[in-house]
């Protein structure tokens, strides 16, 4: 298994280009199931989760050509099963449930289990499908969804906003008979991107970006050409890297408009952030100031930036409280950061961080994607060597991370064991 080795202490300077967004690409690829014919996607990131999605869709009978520009042919959709072997490596596999049941009237999808950041049930996805007239049965670890006579529009109220839940139901409802109203939906930009793609494909969805979506069902969708938005979490991660190292980095293809709550906190921490068109300059010259954060659904501070921000706060000039309200167990990075000298105490859903003068390199590993990113960031500023194992988590969501950081001046390399 690969390891990443970092010699800390380099100031990052220069330019980095942000890749296509993982969490937008995944639902958009699943949406290809809905349209017989060839969809063409651009700006698909080269990530392990994309490889998993391709395997999942290939299993259903879809075929592919290309990489970053990818043709997806759903003419020969033949199967309706998402097997355990693939779903267990990527929870987002559950995104095929909605489109399969919409196009074939049935789906069999392995029930995703818990994961490193929390229990993460899919009860809201299933309840909403039932509202649309789908019969749901759970057996032998699988979700069996059946709607032999098609789906019927309904009013769905989510107990709380769910990103993939909103996406799944959106993809199911676009071809339901009549009108569907979805209330208390997720407002993340990736949801809006999917809604935009579906409308391009012939769907009729109104309200994307707001708390309520109204969908008029259509007979069928057709394939289109679509470019995936930039990854806001990747951009945010490089912003923290620039701030942490007291560097000056221009982030190109930066979706700063979707990072409002995060950038506000970054600025309060003593970092300068200047956006000019799609480039954002991030630089820090003064001390790091402590700032409290609370993760909330979009447009609030993203849970996917909590671990990275914690590293910045580990070196701030005071005490900060980071509250995690989305996932109950998303502090798995804390014990590893402590091993690098951070002073962090977890009390329930709060992490109390007392800023230190420095961190020291150590062998570390993480159990999820963003936790792994936080360890890379810590390694960039720690004294000495940091050795990060379980790099496959990083490869799920950060395209060429060590190359991009090395180009900014980091001393970072990947070794194969
Ligand atoms: N939830 C339920 N029941 C459900 C669905 C969700 O209780 O049926 C709960 C979850 O357990 C959680 C909350 O609702 O407490 C919100 O979870 P959500 O469903 O929004 O998360 P998700 O759709 O599984 C997506 C991203 C995550 C990101 C979260 C929150 C994708 C593929 N994944 O997950 O991304 O953290 O939204 O913004 O879009 C990552 O990229 O590292 C990542 C984990």
CB of 366 closer than 8 Å to CB of 372:
yes
Identify the structural domains of the chain with CATH numbers, from first to last.
Answer: 2-19+230-416 (3.65.10.10), 22-227 (3.65.10.10)
Instruction: State the distance from the centre of ligand 1 to the C-alpha of 29, rounded, in angstroms.
Output: 18
Instruction: Find the Cα–Cα–Cα–Cα dihedral 56, 62, 67, 70, rounded to 10°.
Output: -130
Ligand 1 atom 7: the closest Cα is on which residue?
121
> What pLDDT band is residue 1 in, cutting at 50, 70 and 90?
confident
Q: How far is CA 151 from CA 132, 165, 201, in A?
A: 6, 17, 19
pLDDT tens per residue across span 390-411:
999 999 999 999 999 999 999 9
What does the pLDDT read at residue 32?
A: 98
Confidence of residue 113 (pLDDT cuts 50, 70, 90): confident
Question: Is the minimum distance from the CB of 121 to ligand 1 under 6 angstroms?
Answer: yes
Residue 189 has pLDDT above 90, yes or no: yes
Q: In this prediction, what percent of the chain has a pLDDT beyond 90?
A: 95
pLDDT at residue 125 tops 90: yes
Say what the pLDDT of residue 406 is: 98
Sign of CA dihedral 45, 48, 51, 53: negative
In angstroms, the CA 102 to CA 288 distance is 50
Residue 126 Cα: closest atom of ligand 1: 8
Q: Among 128, 67, 136, which Cα is nearest to 108's?
A: 136
% of the chain with per-residue pLDDT over 70: 100
Give pLDDT, residue 145. 98
Q: Using 50, 70 and 90 to split pLDDT, how confident is the model at 184? A: very high
pLDDT at 144 over 90: yes
C-alpha to C-alpha distance for 198 and 202, rounded to whole angstroms: 6
Q: Are 192 and 166 contacting, i.e. CB atoms less than 8 angstroms apart?
A: no
What residue owns the CA closest to ligand 1's atom 9?
A: 120
Atom of ligand 1 nearest to the CA of 118: 11
CA 138 to chain centre: 27
**Angle between the N-to-C axes of helices 163-173 and 22-31, in degrees from 0 to 180, rounded to the nearest 10:** 20
Mean pLDDT of 62-88: 96
Mean pLDDT of the chain: 97
Label residue 117 by pLDDT band (50, 70, 90).
Answer: confident
């Amino acid at each position: 298994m690969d390891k990443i080795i970092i010699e800390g202490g380099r100031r990052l300077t220069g330019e980095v280009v942000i890749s296509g967004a993982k969490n937008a690409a995944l639902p958009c690829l699943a949406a290809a199931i809905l349209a017989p014919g060839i969809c063409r996607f651009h700006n698909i990131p080269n990530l392990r989760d994309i490889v998993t999605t391709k395997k999942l869709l290939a299993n259903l009978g879809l075929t592919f050509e290309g990489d970053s520009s990818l043709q997806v042919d759903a003419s020969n959709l033949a199967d309706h099963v998402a097997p355990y072997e693939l779903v267990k490596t990527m929870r987002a596999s559950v995104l095929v449930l909605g489109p399969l049941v919409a196009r074939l009237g049935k789906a069999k999808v392995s029930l995703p289990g818990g994961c490193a950041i929390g229990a993460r049930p899919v009860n809201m996805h299933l309840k909403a499908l039932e509202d649309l007239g789908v019969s749901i049965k759970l057996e032998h670890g699988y979700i069996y969804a059946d709607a032999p006579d098609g789906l019927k529009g309904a009013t769905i109220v989510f107990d709380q906003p769910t990103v993939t839940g909103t996406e799944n139901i959106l993809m199911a409802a676009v071809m339901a008979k009549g009108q569907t109203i979805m209330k208390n939906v997720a407002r993340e930009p990736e949801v809006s991107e999917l809604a935009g793609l579906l409308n391009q494909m012939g769907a009729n969805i109104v309200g994307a970006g707001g708390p309520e979506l109204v969908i008029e069902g259509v007979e069928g969708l057709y394939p289109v050409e679509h470019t995936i938005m930039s990854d806001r979490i990747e951009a945010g991660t490089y912003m923290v890297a620039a701030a942490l190292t007291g560097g000056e980095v221009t982030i190109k293809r930066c979706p700063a408009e979707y990072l409002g709550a995060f950038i506000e906190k970054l600025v309060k921490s003593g970092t300068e952030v200047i956006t000019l068109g799609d480039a954002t300059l991030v630089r820090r010259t003064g001390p790091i100031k402590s700032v409290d954060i609370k993760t909330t659904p979009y447009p609030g501070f993203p849970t996917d930036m909590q671990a990275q921000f914690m590293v910045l706060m580990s070196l701030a000039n005071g005490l900060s409280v980071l509250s995690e309200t989305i996932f109950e167990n998303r502090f798995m990075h804390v014990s590893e950061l402590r091993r690098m000298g951070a002073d962090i105490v977890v009390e329930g859903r709060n992490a109390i961080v007392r800023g230190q003068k420095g961190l020291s390199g150590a062998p570390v590993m993480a159990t999820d994607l963003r936790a792994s990113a936080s360890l890379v960031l810590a390694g960039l500023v720690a004294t000495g060597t940091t050795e990060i194992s379980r790099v496959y988590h990083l490869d799920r969501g950060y395209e060429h991370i060590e190359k991009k950081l090395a180009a900014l001046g980091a001393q970072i390399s990947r070794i194969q064991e």
